[in-house]
Amino acid sequence: MYNEEIDVNVGFIPKRMSKDFSRLHDICNVFVEKQGRVSMKERKEMQDAITAAFDDKANIEDNRLPDSRCNTFIVTENTDKMFFGVKVIPSHKWLDWDKYFLYDILFNENPIRIKDIDIEFDSKMFSPLIGMTANEMMAVILYEVGHIVNSSAPVDDLRAQLDAYCAANDQIINNLKDKDAIKFMGFAVAEYISKHSSLFTGKKDNVGADEFVHYVGLDDQLENLISKIAKNNLRLHEDVDDPFASMLWTLRILSNLSTRKIMAIKTLRKAINLSGSVLEQNLMKSLIRDLETVRLSGLTEGVLLKFKYNTMKQFDEDYFEIAMRCKNVEEEDDALYLMRKINTRVSVIDDYINTEKISQDEFKKWSKLLDKYKALREDLLKAAVYKGKQYGVFVNYPDIVPGRY
Per residue in 178-195, pLDDT (tens digit) is 555 666 788 888 989 998
Q: What stretch of H or E contains 152? A: none
Domains of the chain by residue range: 22-166+179-299, 305-389
Contact 356, 322 (CB under 8 A): no
Residue range 351-372: average pLDDT? 84
Amino acid occupying residue 185:
M
pLDDT score for 168 = 66
Order of strands, sheet of 116-122, starting from the edge strand that comes earlier in the sequence? 69-76, 116-122, 86-90
Q: Which range, of 91-95, 145-149, 183-187, 204-208, averages the lowest pLDDT?
A: 204-208
Distance CA 396, CA 86 (A): 22
Indicate the pLDDT class of residue 19, thresholds 50, 70 and 90. Answer: low
pLDDT score for 254 = 75
Residue range 338-361: average pLDDT? 80
- Read off the pLDDT of residues 280-296 as tens digits, 9 standing for 90 and up: 999 899 888 888 876 54
Q: What percent of the chain has pLDDT over 90?
A: 22
**What is the chain's mean pLDDT, rounded?**
76
pTM for this structure?
0.70
Residue range 57-65: average pLDDT? 48
- Read off the pLDDT of residues 83-93 as tens digits, 9 standing for 90 and up: 899 999 998 76
pLDDT score for 337 = 77
Burial, 279: exposed, middle or buried (Cβ in 10 Å; 0-12, 13-18, 19+)?
buried
Indicate the pLDDT class of residue 43, thresholds 50, 70 and 90. Answer: very high
Indicate the pLDDT class of residue 24, thresholds 50, 70 and 90. Answer: very high
Q: Which range, of 191-200, 266-275, 343-352, averages the lowest pLDDT?
A: 343-352
pLDDT score for 332 = 77
